[in-house]
Amino acid sequence: MVRMNSNDRENIDSAGAGDIIAMVGIDCASGDTFVADDNLLNVSCEGMHIPIPVIELSIRAKDKDQQAKMSKGLSRFRKEDPTFHVFTDEESGETRIAGMGELHLEIYVERLKREYQADVEVGAPQVNYRETIREEAAFDYTHKKQTGGSGQFGQVVGVIRPLTDDKKEREDQNFKFNNNIKGGSIPSEFIGACEKGFEDVMDKGPLAAFPLIDVEVELNDGKYHDVDSSDMAFRIASRQAMRQGISKASAVILEPFMQVQVETPEEFQGFVIGDLSSRRGLIQGSESNSGGDTIINAQVPLSEMFGYSTDLRSGSAGKASYSMEFAEYKACPSNIQESVIKAREEKLAKEE
Amino acid sequence: MKNLPKTRNIGISAHIDSGKTTLTERILFYCDMIHKIEDVRGGGGGAKMDHMELEKEKGITITSAATTVNWHGYDKNGISCTEGDGKSIKINIIDTPGHVDFTVEVERSLRVLDGAVLVLCSVSGVQAQSITVDRQMKRYSVPRLAFLNKMDRMGAGAEKGAKELREKLHHNAVLMQIPIGAEENFDGVVDLITKQAIYFDGDNGENVRIEDCPADLVELMEEKRATMIDEVAAFDDEVMEKYLEGEEPSEEELHKCVRAGVNSLELTPVYMGSAFKNKGVQPLLNAVARYLPSPVSCEKSTGIKATKEGDVKIKLDPDFEKPLVCMAFKITDEQFGQLTYTRIYQGTLNKGETIYNTRTKKKFVLVEWLE
């Protein structure tokens, strides 16, 4: 174990409560808790808020050799940064990386090239859409298969509804499961399988197979069979029930909105506001700072912000600057929703 | 090591380009951790905290680095703090990146820190990123001090900075100093508690010179001092009562009030200076030592215990004798293996000891770093 002084390290023999030090040669993820007494294995420290990624792009190595270097780098970055995601697109098989903004991903791509000498190509950045539900809906589904041998049986009854902020246990909670089963209409050993089944469906929304967020499930009743009920039977029943509920709950597509702040000389104020509006931006206000520049605040969909730095530079003779960060997910207007669904369908069809 | 009340775990967060890496650099210098000051941009070896090649090139901080310093006070004779009186204070500092895309670095620092310095540029004031950082500090209930940097720049203003903190971030921001000279003639500060002028002499501002308040600032100083006392006295009933009866609170009483206000998250004392011009950093360090909480008085250390009846919150006690609980908040993968930045919440961590990861249930033995 060591004490850190920027990039220099000093070995130490012990450190006590309240201190911040670094441990060497330990394999873990950010947020993990360590104890020395194996009776405390059920203790963990309160977690931290990890925002969900809003942007992603595909990344490809030139050949097998480069692929190995790239994988090595990506697995390290993923471990170090919980907002940096690496995954394989199930449909196309390509490697995709996701994160908090264009610069965020750009830095990692640059680091792959410099620190790992990995020759990689990246695709155009894409917005991470999400889906959610707008209304409450009931479900009642029985999964039954009794054709010789051991059968399968499970019935689940309940309600799904939008998960509002005040009901979240954590700020970044996207799925909440409430078990209201009393009197054993579903035996308690199957409740875990039910929860898993409901949560399975969160991966793919009904409109365009984007992940679902902010759904609350309430399991109120059900039936089981002494012989034919199993974890698998209840998990399948819950999946189907969830799909049934969602189809009646007015699903919508959500897109990430960014908080954008532009600083510009007054003469370009008209251009900046007009341009932001044409990007479906909601202008929240403007003010002037002590240097005589105007500061404009707006919320703009991320999908409209690609290439913004170039447009802003050319429209303001290079004098305006901007910063942006993720603000929140908001429902797409219906025309945008349609085009997002259509683009997604085409993409999925092409990959098949 | 067995001196918890004399430890501070702080973060320095702010928006991009407000100069927090420069500020951290000066803190390292005044605490004798480095012997030469280097700047973020331009030649030289680059600032100490920005060690990654890419950071040096772009002049921004991407990953946060941790550093431990010892602050001995202005004249190395020690500093009096309301908590942990003594010759020196150990400060663990986490430098955090300003760019929003690296916001998780800020999140994880704030998660494990007990207090923070919110750095603002005294020219551009509260910017979008300051609002984000402020929201993050509120999420983790981090007590904070504000530092108005770049007081030597054109258009800099202390009043304006405090006003923006009040209006845009809704802080109860109170000036604890007033500037001596403005913009390029910015020369030092007057401490509103002691009424003394503080100047920073020597090549790197390392020699703190204390003088009487300049005659032309006395009136302003008294006015601002009265405003400050009005605000801070409210945090201690006894002091408030005395003050209302016309008795002037002592320096110690004022420190006590400010400390109570900061720790209740209802007061943000405002300091000022120019890190680049080596002015105003040492009084800020004194304020960190005096007002920000030590791990003992910090209320944030909660753990979660999984039981059959569901999760229960438990209080973690910063007691060396109790069983160890610590949390990995940042990981870097180095050439020689993984380096895991860890905050210890309870007990003691010893070399050679076996520890368990409570998520994976894996066992590890703590080893030495071999170069």
The whole-number pLDDT of residue B34 equals 62
Q: What pLDDT is stored for residue A187 in this prediction? A: 92
Token pair 């490809």 is found at A60
Nearest Cα neighbor of A100 from A79, A115, A87, A85 is A85
A80–B367 CB contact, under 8 Å: no
Least confident of A20-29, B48-57, B231-240: B48-57
pLDDT reading at B339 higher than 80: yes
Can you tell me the distance from the alpha carbon of A239 to that of A197, in angstroms, rounded to the nearest whole number?
5
Interface predicted TM-score (ipTM) of this complex, two decimals: 0.79
- B312 — contact with chain A (CB < 8 Å)? no
Q: What is the pLDDT of residue B7?
A: 86
Residue B30's pLDDT is 86
Q: Give the model's confidence band at B338: pLDDT under 50 very low, under 70 low, under 90 confident, else very high.
A: confident
Rounded CA separation A349/A347 (Å): 5
Mean per-residue pLDDT, B109-130:
82
Q: Rounded distance, CA B351 to CA A327, Å? A: 44
* Ordered DSSP codes for A184-214: TSS-GGGHHHHHHHHHHGGGS-TTTSPPB-S
- Burial class of residue A37 in the structure, from the number of CB atoms within 10 Å of its CB (0-12 exposed, 13-18 middle, 19+ buried): middle
Name the residue in chain A with its Cα closest to that of B47.
A6
Chain A residue at shortest CA distance from B153? A291
Residue B199 has what pLDDT? 93
> Closest Cα of chain A to B91: distance in Å?
10
Asked if B178 contacts B197 with a C-beta cutoff of 8 angstroms, the reply is: no
For residue range B120-176, what is the model confidence (pLDDT) as tens digits?
A: 888 887 876 677 778 778 878 889 999 999 999 988 888 988 998 998 888 999 999
User: Using an 8 Å Cβ cutoff, are B271 and B176 in contact?
Assistant: yes
CATH number of A55-130, picked from 3.40.50.300, 3.30.70.870, 3.30.70.980, 3.40.30.10 = 3.30.70.870
Nearest to B331 among A30, A41, A289 (CB): A30
**Residue A38 to residue B54, Cβ atoms within 8 A:** no
Percent of chain A predicted with pLDDT > 90: 44
- State the Cα–Cα distance between residues A285 and B247, nearest whole angstrom: 46
Cα atoms found within 13 Å of the Cα of residue A71, Cβ hemisphere only: 8
pLDDT-above-70 percentage for chain A: 97
Phi-psi region of A93 (alpha: psi -120 to 50; beta: other; left: phi over 0): left
Instruction: Report the residue of chain B nearest A293, measured CA to CA.
Output: B124
First to last CA, chain B: 25
Residues A233-276 have pLDDT tens digits of 999 999 999 999 999 999 999 999 998 888 888 899 999 999 99
Among A103-107, A329-333, B73-77, B183-187, name the one with the lowest average pLDDT.
B73-77
A6 touches chain B (CB under 8 A): yes
**CATH class of the domain whose range is A255-334:** alpha beta
* Range of lowest pLDDT (A183-192, A222-231, A324-333, B62-71): B62-71
- Using CA atoms, how far residue B59 sits from A313, B12, B198, in Å, is 21, 17, 31
Mean pLDDT confidence for A147-176: 87
Highest mean pLDDT among A23-27, A229-233, B133-137, B218-222: B218-222
d(CA A85, CA A333): 28
Judged on CB neighbours under 10 Å (0-12, 13-18, 19+), A10 is: exposed
Structure tokens at A138: 């009931």
Q: Do B364 and A20 touch (CB under 8 A)?
A: no
- A153 falls in which pLDDT band (50, 70, 90)? very high
**CB burial class (10 A; 0-12, 13-18, 19+) of residue B36?**
exposed
Across the interface, whether the CB atoms of A18 and B333 are under 8 A apart is answered no
Question: Would you say residue B56 has pLDDT above 60?
Answer: no
Band (pLDDT 50/70/90 cuts) for residue B28 is confident
Q: Which residue has the tokens 């360590």?
A: A34
pLDDT at A190 over 90: yes
Task: Determine, for residues B349 and A7 on separate chains, whether the beta-carbon distance falls below 8 Å.
Answer: no
User: Do A55-130 and A255-334 have matching folds?
Assistant: yes
| Closest CA of chain A from B327, distance in Å | 4
**Domain-by-domain residue ranges, chain A?**
55-130, 131-249, 255-334
Chain B residues within an 8 Å CB radius of A37: 323-324
The pair of structure tokens assigned to A160 is 């799904």
Strands B207-212 vs B196-201: parallel, antiparallel or unpaired: antiparallel
CA distance A351 to chain B (A): 31
Pairing status of strand B115-121 against strand B144-149: parallel
Residue A163 has pLDDT above 50, yes or no: yes
CA distance B287 to chain A (A): 20
| Binding-face residues of A in 170-199 toward B, CB within 8 A | 171
Check residue B60 and give its pLDDT. 46
B212, containing H or E segment:
strand B207-212
CATH architecture of A131-249: 2-Layer Sandwich (3.30)
Residue ranges of B 86-105 with Cβ closer than 8 A to chain A = 92, 94, 99-104
pLDDT > 70: what percent of chain B? 80
Is residue A24 pLDDT above 70, yes or no?
yes
What average pLDDT does the structure give for chain B?
Answer: 81
Q: What is the pLDDT of residue A178?
A: 93
pLDDT at A293 over 60: yes
Contact B272, B157 (CB under 8 A): no
Sorting pLDDT into bands at 50, 70 and 90, what band is B101?
low
User: For residue B59, what pLDDT is reported?
Assistant: 46
The pLDDT score that the predictor gives to residue B200 is: 92
Contacts with A, B 36-65, CB within 8 Å = 48-49, 51, 53-54, 62-63, 65
Q: How confident is the model at residue B313 (pLDDT cuts 50, 70, 90)?
A: confident
DSSP state of A94: -
- The answer, for B182 touching chain A at a CB cutoff of 8 Å, is no
| Bridge-based pairing state of the strands A85-88 and B325-334 | unpaired
Per the CB < 8 Å rule, is A28 touching B324? Answer: no
Locate A47 and state its tokens.
């977690």
The predicted pLDDT at position B73 comes to 79
Joined tokens for residue B274: 């120019």
Are B340 and A49 in contact (CB < 8 Å)? no
Question: Where do the structural domains in chain B lie, given as residue ranges?
Answer: 4-291, 302-365
Compute CA distances B253 → B145, B192, B231, whole Å.
19, 14, 13
Give the closest residue to B249 by CA, choosing from B267, B275, B231, B268.
Answer: B231
Long-range contact pairs involving A200-205 (C-beta distance under 8 Å, separation at least 24): A200/A235, A200/A238, A200/A239, A200/A242, A201/A239, A201/A242, A201/A243, A201/A246, A202/A174, A202/A175, A205/A130, A205/A131, A205/A132, A205/A246, A205/A251, A205/A253
B94 or A112, greater pLDDT: A112
Q: Which two tokens stand for residue A36?
A: 């020395």
Total beta-carbon pairs less than 8 A apart between chain A and chain B: 291
Mean pLDDT lowest for which of A24-33, A125-134, A193-202, A269-278? A24-33
For residues A279 and B60, give the distance between their C-alpha atoms in angstroms, rounded to a whole number.
29
Q: Which of residues 321-350 of A touch B (CB under 8 A)?
A: 323-326
Is A43–B304 a contact, with Cβ atoms under 8 angstroms apart?
yes
Q: Give the confidence band of B43 by pLDDT, cuts at 50, 70, 90.
A: very low
The CATH T-level fold of domain B4-291 is Rossmann fold (3.40.50)
Residue numbers in A near B328 (CB within 8 A) = 23, 26, 28-34
Instruction: Report the interhelical angle of A269-278 vs A308-315 (nearest 10°).
Output: 150
Q: Average pLDDT of chain A? A: 88
Q: In this structure, are residues B330 and A31 in contact, taking their beta carbons and an 8 Å threshold?
A: no
Shortest distance, CA A1 to any CA of chain B (angstroms): 6
Distance between CA atoms of residues B11 and B15, nearest Å: 13
B228 compared with B38, residue with greater pLDDT: B228
| Nearest alpha carbon to residue A25 among B356, B337, B333, B327 | B337
Considering only the beta carbons, identify the residue of B7, B16, B362 that sits closest to A19. Answer: B7
The pair of structure tokens assigned to A146 is: 């009794």
Q: Give the one of A289, A297, A324 whose C-beta lies nearest to B124's C-beta.
A: A289
Q: Does residue A100 sit at the B interface (CB-CB below 8 Å)?
A: yes
Query: Higher model confidence: residue B59 or residue B246?
Result: B246
Closest CB from A28, A46, A102 relative to B304: A46
For the record, the structure tokens of A58 come out as 């595909």
* CATH number, domain B302-365, options 2.60.40.10, 3.40.50.970, 2.40.30.10, 3.30.160.270: 2.40.30.10
A34 vs B15, B127, B326: nearest CB: B326
Q: Is the pLDDT of residue B47 over 60?
A: no
Where does residue B337 rank: exposed (0-12), middle (13-18), buried (19+ CB within 10 A)?
Answer: middle
Cα A112 from chain centre: 23
Give how far B48 is from chain A: nearest CA, Å: 7
A287 shares contact with chain B (CB less than 8 Å): no
Rounded to the nearest angstrom, the minimum Cα separation between A234 and chain B is 22
